Structure 1
Amino acid sequence: MNLKEIYLENETINRIDPSLYGKYHVKAGLRNENGTGVKVGLTKISDVVGYKVEHGKKTHVQGRLVYRGYDIEELAQHRSKENLGFEMTAFLLIFGKLPTHRQLLDFHKELIKTADASQVDIQYKTSNLLNAIQIEVLKLYGDDQDPDSDTLEQRMLKGIYILASMPLFMLSHYKKEKIDKYPLPDKGIAENVLCIIRGNTHYSDLEASILDLLFMLHADHGGGNNSTFTNVVMSSTGTDIYSCISAALGSLKGPRHGGANIKTSAMFNAIFEEYGVTTDEKILRKIAKRLLEKDFFDHAGLIYGIGHAIYTKSDPRCQLIKTACKSLAREKGKMDEFRTLEAFEKAALYQMRKIKHIETCANVDFYSGFAYSLLGIEESLFTPLFGMARTSGWVAHHLENRQNNRKLIRPANVYVGDE
């Protein structure tokens, strides 16, 4: 029996007429007709603001990312001199308040002390680091003497354990050598990650600071993003936190979610290869036009790093990374490349208005890949680093939902098959 042949003969059996979504008032992708997300939950953890709705009319506003009531720009500005911005952000998301300086230092020590990658199996073969990390997270379940404990305190401690160990899981598989502890116990997570990737401490204060900032910006993005919602759906079943975080990692692996920064980086490499470093407006508008007309790069009709489901006027994460990239490009002698990206951003937005009639903005992925590249970080680490940072938000949302929403998440589908 040739199962593939049978399936191909009947592939139309699952094809659904797109008009049926409107007929039965089904919100495909959990999106309303105006592009806004269907409201499915409440959260006190973070907010993503890109528009306001008054009297049923959607109005675009400057983008804001808010963690526990604090704008991300304010948090980035008030990082401690020790480059513990990520630790400060994780504490804020999970515990609901900013730590005192003493609490921040103690929390950092707790993460360093708690991390454990002694059971990592670097011999396990997988082509994707996120799959490897998923497996390592699930293995923690087997090592836990009481993995299914449903008290919030135990779930929190397990979440901290996952958060602390995640960088070591990732870097052990990346380096193909077991890294069971942080090499710089007195330094922040970001600086330790940079040290392990480089294999030395030959990096500048600016480089360490920028990686710390990137982790802060990736830490959370509201409860509606795909990986966080995946985590929340799993949490509603009452299953263990290891399964929930592993599922979120699986979601992040998808190229339409966490993998966009790699696509953006690859797109820029293609531009540099064919057109070189240039700020010529005509050339850059031509490139943007070719991308939208499926005549360049991957022929998908997309300009990666441009556009967002919520932000339209500006993405605050993009603005912060752009400013950081400029400083780092100046330090690295890469200002020509930075100016090309900056000029292409304008050209892309121009063509989006002209061809697609869409008013939009550059998103977090537009400059983040370039920032990672300036730091000497390979593309294979872009999304895993994103997932490592986002774990802090996943833990926070997991705890919030286990405390407040004990209903099993179970939406409905409309049957449109044959009778």
Structure 2
Amino acid sequence: MKTLKQIYTENMAYNQIDPSLYARYRVKQGLRNENGTGVKVGLTKICDVVGYQMVHGKKHNIDGQLIYRGYSVDDLIRMQSGDMVDGYEQVAFLLIMGRLPDQEELAQFKTILKDEINTNMIDEQYETKSILNALQIEILKLYGDDPNPDDDELPDRMQKGISILASIPLFVFSQYHHTLFTKYPLHDKGLAENILVLARNEENYTLQEARLMDTLLMLHADHGGGNNSTFANVVITSTGTDIYSCISAAIGSLKGPRHGGAAQKVSGQFDALIHSCKNGWDDQKLEEIAYSLLAKEYYDRAGLIYGIGHAIYTKSDPRAVLIKEECRKLAIEKGLEDEFELFSHFERAACKAMKRVKGIDCCANVDFYSGFAYRMLGIDSSLFTSMFSISRCAGWIAHHLENRQSNRKLIRPANIYVGERKGSYND
């Protein structure tokens, strides 16, 4: 007797769709236009991602911009000064509430984040290979712990979202260390510093390490409504369901290697690069490695240069530019200038190879330096995507609330049937 798996394997051809049919029926595969731009499916006042301008129907590349509620992330990062490291808290408040907080509101918000931590449910560890999977479970357990989880009033949804935002870091590191954390170790510090302590199990860190962590959190907090995890969140939000289900779904999307796993791939790619260059390197050798990656002859033989290229940014990814700047400072502090220079030169070699082989202008994306940043901070590669989820939660909450307030339509796109028409069952 055949197993169901064998039957499915033998009949996989029934699911194969001729790629030419997408053009024939004018279907926007992946919700992408033919020129690579995204299909417009919504409106938002939260975040803008700019990498090109359309002039008379033609796409013109420009330096990338990431805008949170009207503020350039460049300005938000550079306004951080002194010994206070709380840029992420300011950005989270901005995204969720719509404006930057004053000093009193910021202090209150930081206190609320500590008070709203819900650890009632993390009384057992899950035997799962994925921290993100465990994180989904913990968030859904919050639904069961909430006496009114389906309240549809926006202030109630916001309050629930803040509880999720406050609790996620402890969920992540409790699962990672197999130790129950019920509160942040540093009561008078911001999230960036507490994450360093939770991740490394020690309170010894420098101001520049905290600044780099804060920068990573700020730059991952949102990336418009069109990225896969935020769109998944918004699609499910449009059904009217609870915020716990929506955030859990967003994490499920982020778990996919095409969306949230790129920083880990970059880290592995850099390990291979360091090994290949241990006896010295020059720009020519780096170009040869870049060509080998594209030719499927190096690293994982996927034909990709991880960390290079983006769906929207072409000339520059502002997140990569800002992270690179902070990485340079920490590399000097840690005596890792040579490693930083290797990555910086490889960035140029990779972009050059992409132009020659694929004929496209591209730049380093956010993941190119994120992996290096986390490595310098002592963050294990298995935590990279979970770090992304901690940060992006602020954006997910903001888009959830905006959608529930302004878009009352159920998101329901259409598919075109291209299968066979058969006769009756008895024929």
Distance 1:386 1:278 in 2: 33
> TM-score of the superposition, structure 2-length normalised?
0.97
> Cα offset for 1:313?
0.3
Structure 2 CA distance for partners of 1:24 and 1:368, relative to 1, 3 Å: same
Q: Which amino acid aligns with 1:62?
A: D
Question: Residue 113 of structure 1: CA displacement?
Answer: 1.2
Cα 1:377–1:277 shift into 2, 3 Å: farther
Counterpart in the other structure of 1:71 = 72
Q: Is the 8 A contact 1:116 1:165 kept in 2?
A: yes
Mapping of 1:302-317 within 5 angstroms?
302-317=304-319
CA distance, structure 2, for counterparts of residue 139 and residue 366 of structure 1: 35
- Quote the Cα distance in structure 1 between the aligned partners of 2:359 and 2:284: 19
C-alpha distance in 2 between matches for 1:408 and 1:72: 32
Pairwise CA distance, 1:276: 2.0
Kept in 2, the 8 Å contact 1:91–1:97? The answer is: yes
Local SS of the residue matching 1:50: strand
Report the alpha carbon displacement of residue 209 of structure 1 after superposing the two structures with TM: 1.1
Match of 1:399 among 394, 398, 401: 401
Matches for 1:179-258 after TM superposition, within 5 Å = 179-258=181-260
Task: Specify the alignment match of 2:36 in structure 1.
Answer: 35
Aligned to 1:386: 388
Match of 1:411, SS state, is coil
CA distance in 2, matches of 1:71, 1:106: 25
Name the CA distance, whole Å, in 2 between partners of 1:343 and 1:121.
Answer: 47
**Could you tell me how far apart the structure 2 residues matched to 1:277 and 1:352 are?**
26
Please tell me whether the aligned partners of residues 281 and 347 of structure 1 are also in contact (alpha carbons under 8 angstroms).
yes
Q: Percent identity?
A: 59
1:320 maps to amino acid: L
Q: Distance in 2 between the 1:194 and 1:73 partners?
A: 23
Structure 1 counterpart SS, 2:420: coil
One-letter amino acid of the counterpart of residue 29, structure 1: G
CA contact (8 A) 1:279 1:343 kept: no
Cα distance in 2 for partners of 1:243, 1:80 equals 37
**80 and 88 in structure 1: CA distance in 2 versus 1, 3 angstrom threshold:** farther
SS of aligned partner of 2:126:
coil
Quote the Cα distance in structure 2 between the aligned partners of 1:241 and 1:342: 41
What's 1:300 paired with?
302
| Aligned-partner SS, 1:34 | coil
Which shifted more, 10-19 or 273-282? Answer: 273-282
Q: Distance in 2 between matches of 1:394 and 1:372?
A: 23
* Greater displacement, 324-333 / 74-83: 74-83
| CA offset digits 1:299-326 (Å, max 9, x no partner) | 1100000000000000000000001111
Aligned mates of 1:393, 1:15 — CA distance in 2: 36
101-110 or 211-220, which moves further after superposition?
Answer: 101-110
Segments of 5+ residues of structure 1 without an aligned counterpart are none
Q: 2:156 aligns with which of 149, 154, 167?
A: 154
- The answer on whether the counterparts of 2:64 and 2:318 sit within 8 Å (CA) in structure 1 is yes
2:418 corresponds to which residue? 416
Matching residue of 2:10: 9
Aligned-residue offset at 1:224: 0.2
**1:269 matched residue in structure 2:** 271
2:67 is paired with a residue whose SS is strand
Say if 1:137 and 1:246, in contact at 8 Å, map to a contact too: yes
* Aligned mates of 1:340, 1:48 — CA distance in 2: 29
Runs (4+) of structure 1 exceeding 3 A deviation are none
Separation of aligned partners in 2, 1:238 and 1:250: 19
CA contact (8 A) 1:116 1:168 kept: no
- Structure-1 residue corresponding to 2:425: none
Q: What secondary structure, in the 3-state scheme, does the structure 2 residue paired with 1:307 have?
A: coil
**TM-score for both structures, normalised by structure 1:** 0.99
Offset at 1:236? Answer: 0.3
What is the Cα deviation at residue 116 of structure 1? Answer: 2.2
* Aligned twin of 1:118: 120
Alignment of 1:77-96 (within 5 A): 77-79=78-80, 81=82, 82-96=84-98
User: Structure 2: any 5+ residue segments left out of the alignment?
Assistant: 422-427
2-side partners of 1:8 and 1:67: how far apart?
A: 47
What's 1:280 paired with?
Answer: 282
State the SS of the aligned residue for 1:368. helix
Native 8 Å contact 2:317 2:363 kept in 1:
yes
Number of matched pairs: 419
Instruction: State the alpha-carbon separation in 2 of the partners of residues 165 and 98 from structure 1.
Output: 22
**Counterpart Cα distance in 1 of 2:46 and 2:183:** 30
Deviations 1:322-374 (A, max 9, x none): 01111101111111100000000010011111111111100000000000000
User: Matched residue of 1:59: which SS?
Assistant: strand
Does the Cα contact within 8 Å between 1:133 and 1:169 map onto a contact in 2? yes
**Counterpart AA for 1:155:** R
Q: Deviations over 1:219-259 (max 9, x none)?
A: 00000000000000000000000000000000001111111
Which AA in structure 2 matches 1:414?
I
Deviation at 1:195, TM superposition (A): 1.0
